[in-house]
């Protein structure tokens, strides 16, 4: 930690006053991610002992920025101590933005627009960014070659199929793996392959996407990354939207290269499958083997994608044993217990204005839920500097965070809602509605709705949906 403070002082010429670990953003990487701030500056510090991976990330970052690509600026580095300091891009991932702007399969236009922007930027990474990249620093492989594919397939075989109790004939499965690998490598693989191009690796700052976690990048095929994004398990994009985004991606890609759509699509769904296979291996290793159950939350969504593929896609090569394993996974009692939505609960969080009477309506048919009156908390709306801001803006958040009454209020809310969530999940209920009201529905209610959603998002078996009714009526 001291090395990051030293790097902060070195870059900003002033000390870090607050140091906050961001463990929730680690995923499966194993890196320590720390936010360092003072009154004027903020930065993200990384501590990670794998020098080769750090070198890849730092060199890629500098290369991509030279090409004008939206990646974090590298401020300082201390490779000998496994540390570097980079630009703070905030806390909103594309996944979080999508989660806040959807109700089931109904995704709001603003989230779709961000996805369109993201898929339009991807070809710049793959073609422009990959053109003069130093692939010698790639780790652990310089290309998505036969060895890379074999690692992913075996990861899936031993850490998912074996541990999930899915039976298979090992030699027959190996034969399928050989055919699949040979087929994948028929695609042109002379582009930059981001490797983990998914919704948690895109940050949104002031509505604009920035890209992170490309340290595993290497040379490979165009199909892999767009498949990674569109079949990102927990993002759970509807098939029709996936197709529209794929079409948009191909339209933009055709401005960078001479694209034959039929040639691209010939291997596309094989890359979709191999990406899902790689992800399932990770879920199995982290969830079944390391016993980190939150990784298994993605399994139901991956199975949903596999089910759709089995019903809608016919591959141009025969993979009978692998496809039989997929069918067994879908029918597995063990995996169905993970995939079952019997304990799946939707927490709907609203903010509204008492003044306008925009009380939220319960559309689940259950009735009830909680309505919390935030008007006992000091009102930022009475101060001119906050008039045009909302409870999602940093100055308002800071103001309300400084109020002791805010902490007491929120602690009581969390206690009540948390107890109900546990009881609802145990009893198999499907919906709980929690609403926050204040005078104008712009500051306090929005703040507490966002804080509650953030607190419970990620709880196993829980989907969190947030709406700000007063802000929607104002077009904010």
Sheet containing strand 370-373, strands side by side = 370-373, 431-438, 345-353, 462-468
H helices within 207-287, ranges in order?
A: 222-230, 239-253, 261-283
What is the reported pLDDT for 459? Answer: 83
Give dist(CA 309, CA 287) in Å, integer. Answer: 24
Of 275, 188, 186, the residue nearest 226 (C-alpha): 275
What is the DSSP code (8-state) at residue 165?
T
In this structure, which CATH number among 1.10.10.10, 3.40.50.720, 3.30.420.40, 3.90.1200.10 belongs to the domain 94-339? Answer: 3.90.1200.10
What is the reported pLDDT for 280? Answer: 97
Of 252, 221, 236, the residue nearest 119 (C-alpha): 252
Whether the predicted pLDDT of 409 surpasses 90 = yes
What is the reported pLDDT for 63? Answer: 98
DSSP-derived pairing of the beta strands 83-87 and 42-47: antiparallel
What is the reported pLDDT for 358? Answer: 67
Of 177, 98, 151, 193, the residue nearest 282 (C-alpha): 151
Arithmetic mean of pLDDT, 174-179: 98
Other C-beta atoms closer than 10 Å to the C-beta of 470 total: 25
Of 48, 43, 56, 46, the residue nearest 87 (C-alpha): 43
For residue 473, name the pLDDT band (cuts at 50, 70, 90).
Answer: confident
For residue 35, name the pLDDT band (cuts at 50, 70, 90).
Answer: very high
More confident residue, 77 or 429: 77
Q: What is the pLDDT of residues 340-359, one digit of tens each?
A: 444 578 898 999 999 887 67
Token pair in block for residue 446: 């929005």
Domain ranges of the chain: 2-87, 94-339, 345-474
| Three-state SS at 114 | helix
pTM of the model: 0.73
Q: What is the 3-state secondary structure (H, E, C) of 267-312?
A: HHHHHHHHHHHHHHHHHHHHHHHCCCHHHHHHHHHHHHHHHHHHHH
Whether the predicted pLDDT of 438 surpasses 80 = yes
DSSP-derived pairing of the beta strands 345-353 and 370-373: unpaired
Calculate the average pLDDT of the chain.
Answer: 92
Arithmetic mean of pLDDT, 191-215: 96
What is the reported pLDDT for 427? Answer: 78
What is the reported pLDDT for 340? Answer: 47
Helix, strand, coil percentages (3-state) for the chain, rounded to 5, are: 55, 15, 30
Arithmetic mean of pLDDT, 45-68: 97
Which CATH topology does 2-87 take? Phosphorylase Kinase; domain 1 (3.30.200)
Cα dihedral sign, 378-381-353-413: negative
Arithmetic mean of pLDDT, 272-282: 97
Arithmetic mean of pLDDT, 202-224: 97
Q: What is the pLDDT of residues 150-164, one digit of tens each?
A: 999 999 999 999 999
What is the reported pLDDT for 475? Answer: 62
Q: ∠ CA(65), CA(68), CA(73), 5° rounding?
A: 30
CB contact at 8 A, 20 and 89 = no
């Amino acid at each position: 930690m001291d090395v990051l403070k030293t790097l902060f002082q070195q870059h900003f010429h002033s000390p870090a006053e607050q140091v906050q670990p961001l463990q929730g953003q680690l995923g499966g990487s194993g890196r320590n991610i720390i936010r360092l701030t003072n009154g004027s500056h903020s930065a993200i510090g990384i501590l990670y002992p794998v020098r080769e991976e750090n070198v890849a990330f730092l060199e890629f970052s500098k290369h991509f920025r030279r090409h004008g690509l939206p990646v974090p600026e590298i401020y300082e580095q201390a490779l000998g101590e496994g540390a570097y300091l980079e630009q703070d891009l905030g806390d909103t991932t594309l996944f979080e933005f999508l989660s806040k702007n959807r109700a089931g399969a109904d995704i709001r236009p603003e989230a779709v627009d961000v996805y369109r922007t993201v898929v339009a930027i991807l070809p710049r990474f793959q073609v422009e960014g990959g053109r003069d990249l130093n692939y010698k620093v790639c780790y652990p492989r310089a290309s998505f070659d036969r060895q890379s594919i074999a690692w992913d397939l075996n990861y899936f075989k031993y850490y998912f199929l074996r541990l999930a109790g899915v039976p298979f004939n090992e030699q027959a499965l190996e034969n399928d793996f050989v055919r699949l690998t040979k087929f994948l490598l028929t695609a042109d693989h002379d582009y930059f392959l981001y490797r983990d191009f998914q919704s948690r690796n895109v940050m949104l700052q002031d509505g604009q996407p920035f890209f992170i976690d490309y340290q595993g990048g290497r040379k490979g095929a165009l199909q892999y990354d767009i498949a990674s994004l569109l079949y990102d398990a927990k993002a759970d994009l509807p098939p029709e939207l996936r197709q529209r985004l794929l079409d948009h991606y191909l339209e933009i890609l055709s401005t960078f290269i001479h694209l034959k759509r039929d040639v691209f699509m010939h291997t596309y769904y094989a890359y979709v499958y191999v990406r899902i296979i790689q992800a399932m291996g990770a879920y199995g290793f982290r969830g079944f083997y390391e016993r980190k159950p939150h990784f298994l939350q993605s399994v139901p969504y991956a199975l949903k994608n596999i089910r759709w593929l089995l019903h809608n896609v016919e591959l141009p090569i025969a993979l009978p044993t692998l496809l039989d394993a997929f069918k067994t996974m879908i029918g597995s009692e063990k995996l169905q217990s993970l995939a079952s939505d019997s304990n799946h609960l939707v927490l709907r969080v609203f903010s509204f204005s008492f003044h306008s009477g925009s009380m939220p309506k319960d559309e689940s048919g259950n009735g009830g839920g909680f309505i919390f009156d935030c008007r006992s908390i000091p009102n930022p709306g009475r101060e001119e500097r906050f008039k045009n801001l909302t409870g999602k803006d940093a100055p308002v958040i800071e103001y309300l965070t400084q109020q002791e009454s805010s902490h007491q209020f929120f602690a009581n809310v969390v206690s009540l809602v948390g107890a109900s969530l546990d009881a609802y999940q145990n009893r198999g209920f499907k919906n709980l509605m929690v609403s926050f009201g204040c005078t104008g529905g712009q500051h306090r209610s929005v703040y507490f709705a966002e804080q509650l959603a953030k607190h419970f998002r990620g709880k196993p078996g829980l989907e969190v949906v947030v709406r700000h009714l007063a802000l929607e009526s104002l077009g904010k």
